[in-house]
Copies of this chain bind each other. A is one copy, B any other.
Amino acid sequence: MCSGLTLKTQDDKHLFGRNMDLSYEFGQQVVVVPRKYTFNLKANNDKIENKYAIITMATVIDNYPLIADGCNEAGLGVAGLNFPHYASFEKEPVDDKFNLTPYELPLWLLGNFETVDEVKSELENIELVDIPFNDKVGVSTLHWFISDKTGKSLVVEKTCEKLNVYDNPVGILTNSPGFDWHMINLNEYIGLKPEQPEDVKWSNADLHTIGIGAGTKGMPGGAGGVDRFIRLAYIRANTKEPENTELGISQFFHMLDYVAAPKGSVIEQENEDYTLYSSCMDLEEGIYYYKSYKSYGINAVNMHNVDLNSNELYEFGYNKNLNVNKVN
């Protein structure tokens, strides 16, 4: 379970981030990948040297960042979200295609592209192949949410039929089923609105709203991806552009809270599935804001406060302590 979001502010900042809903931690921490980071492709003998520095939530194995979500210094953002039952990758590399594994995709995109338009064009030439990272780490069933400083966003889904690349007019993503299914489903909920419905008379009974919020009656509230897609699309559609970056970041996290899973709400095979962390990246500034479930408050890591020409990954510990501003 995951939810991705974009939001623009009145001071022209583009915020991009996600909820990571999981039943376990995966060694995640904020990692800065400097320019010219080099990695070997799994599907052939090529080596890739990245162009752009990246800031990301990732787990690092053998000096390799397995990226959950991140952005680069050029303002491109990429997040992988779970896509169970539908994600289906090629068993073997495909001729005449640039073959990538699913975990290489974000690293390659963030390392080498600036805009959604560039990415969209490049994706015509790629194929995604199911080659495990190592003996212990396989390939996750993901789809990807990609955005940039123009505010455009894309969804990339590789199913048993083909590699689909969708323009994303609602600026959000959740989980299965596919993006086109969710977009059709949204039409079912066009009656939801922030305003109150009018009083009515049913037979001889005068009916009135019991309290405010009655225009949202019927809003689905389940934890599944179908319900979260509707909720997140609704709140994004009804959010006014925040006046400045600070208000935008606050609003962004409040919007993610609207689809978050508190501990206890969902059990997956006897483990609690919950919103492990929420992230919000300032694509213009290269700052990665996140809150862990335990820290509750917002933490920030600025990629420009490290040497982006270094030849080492920068790892910042994952904050699990409650952030409290003690007033007295």
Instruction: Write out the residue numbers on chain B whose beta carbons fall within 8 Å of the beta carbon of A237.
Output: 201-203
Instruction: Write out the residue numbers on chain B whose beta carbons fall within 8 Å of the beta carbon of A327.
Output: 30, 299-301, 316, 319
**Any chain B CB within 8 A of the CB of A121?**
no
Instruction: Write out the residue numbers on chain B whose beta carbons fall within 8 Å of the beta carbon of A236.
Output: 202-203
Looking at the complex, which one of B213, B220, B262 makes contact with A251 (CB distance below 8 Å)?
A: B262
Contact in complex: A216, B207 (CB < 8 Å): no
Instruction: Write out the residue numbers on chain B whose beta carbons fall within 8 Å of the beta carbon of A185.
Output: 185
- Which single residue of chain B is at the shortest CB-CB distance from A6? B203
Per assembly, the copies of the chain total 4
**Any chain B CB within 8 A of the CB of A159?**
no
Contact in complex: A268, B224 (CB < 8 Å): no
**Any chain B CB within 8 A of the CB of A41?**
no
**Any chain B CB within 8 A of the CB of A250?**
yes
Chain B CB within 10 Å, residue with most, of A186, A190, A196, A258 = A190
Once A190-B199, A202-B170 are accepted as A-B contacts, the answer to whether A212 and B266 lie under 8 Å apart by CB is yes
Contact in complex: B175, A211 (CB < 8 Å): yes
Once A170-B203, A293-B250, A328-B316 are accepted as A-B contacts, the answer to whether A208 and B300 lie under 8 Å apart by CB is no
Tell me the smallest distance from the CB of A166 to a CB of chain B, in Å: 12
- Which single residue of chain B is at the shortest CB-CB distance from A199? B190
Tell me the smallest distance from the CB of A197 to a CB of chain B, in Å: 4
Give the distance in Å from the alpha carbon of A239 to the alpha carbon of B204 in the complex. Answer: 13
- Which single residue of chain B is at the shortest CB-CB distance from A316? B327
Given contacts A194-B266, A201-B237, A217-B218, 20 further A-B contacts (CB under 8 A): A82-B211, A85-B211, A170-B202, A170-B205, A176-B211, A184-B210, A185-B185, A186-B207, A190-B198, A190-B207, A190-B214, A191-B218, A217-B222, A217-B224, A221-B221, A257-B260, A257-B262, A297-B323, A302-B326, A319-B325
What are 28 of the A-B contact pairs (CB < 8 Å)? A169-B205, A171-B203, A177-B210, A183-B205, A186-B202, A190-B199, A190-B209, A191-B197, A194-B264, A203-B236, A210-B224, A213-B223, A213-B261, A213-B266, A214-B224, A216-B222, A216-B265, A219-B227, A235-B265, A238-B264, A238-B265, A240-B264, A240-B272, A250-B296, A255-B262, A258-B262, A295-B325, A300-B324
